[in-house]
């Protein structure tokens, strides 16, 4: 396996919180997290069930590093909250959903989006617009699964996407494409000259 130049170290997982452990989607996220943890990446997630739990369990199964950004709601009955079985090496607690989401974006260098619901859509939207705003200092993301081809095709046909907005992510259909995609992201990052950049000091939402 070729060496990766580690501008990307922490990778956040997003996806549906209701997938059971027996589902194909859970098993895929578990396997991807396991692969990444074996390769030295820290796995980041929101500390909940479903894809988030799969990410933690996959990483922990090979003694990988895990981080959760959590929010335990009092007045948000539609939010899944903290999943106690999702035990991580480090937890950062936040006070509300928005703070949690942006802390997830801050504490990761790259993002993987699995199949999900409206919460995943909101996280994708925030990730995508920040990547556009900060390009080429952006944090890239991966859309995992063949269903994303149709979703992106519809967005391209019906929405107003700028060319740069299509440069900040890649669709990956299978696990074996994950590491090569990260290596490609790393190579792209090295082509940008930041030596005279004034905005690189803001590391929260860019590399």
Mean pLDDT, rounded, for 141-169 = 98
Compute how many other C-beta atoms are within 10 angstroms of the C-beta atom of residue 99: 14
Which region among 128-142, 163-177, 191-205 has the lowest average model confidence (pLDDT)?
191-205
Mean pLDDT, rounded, for 90-98 = 93
Mean pLDDT, rounded, for 120-128 = 97
Q: Which domains does the chain have, with CATH numbers?
A: 10-190 (3.40.50.450)
Percent pLDDT > 90 in the chain is 79
Q: What is the pTM of this model?
A: 0.91
């Amino acid at each position: 396996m070729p060496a990766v130049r580690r501008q990307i170290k922490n990778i956040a997982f997003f996806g549906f919180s209701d997938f059971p452990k027996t589902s194909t989607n859970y098993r895929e996220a578990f396997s991807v997290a396991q692969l990444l943890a074996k390769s030295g990446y820290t796995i980041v997630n929101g500390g909940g069930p479903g894809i988030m739990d799969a990410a933690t369990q996959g990483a922990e199964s090979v003694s990988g590093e895990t981080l959760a950004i959590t929010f335990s709601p009092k007045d948000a009955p539609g939010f899944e909250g903290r999943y106690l079985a999702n035990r991580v090496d480090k937890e950062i607690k936040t006070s509300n959903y928005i703070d949690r989401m942006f802390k997830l974006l801050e504490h990761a260098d790259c993002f993987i989006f699995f199949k999900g619901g409206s919460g995943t859509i909101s996280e994708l939207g925030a990730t995508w617009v920040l990547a556009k705003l900060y390009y080429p200092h952006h944090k890239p993301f991966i859309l995992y699964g063949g269903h994303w081809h149709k979703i992106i095709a519809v967005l391209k046909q019906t929405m107003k996407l700028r060319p740069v907005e299509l440069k900040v992510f890649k669709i990956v259909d299978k696990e074996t494409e994950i590491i090569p995609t990260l290596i490609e992201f790393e190579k792209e990052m090295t082509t940008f000259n930041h030596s005279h950049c004034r905005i690189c000091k803001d590391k929260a939402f860019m590399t």
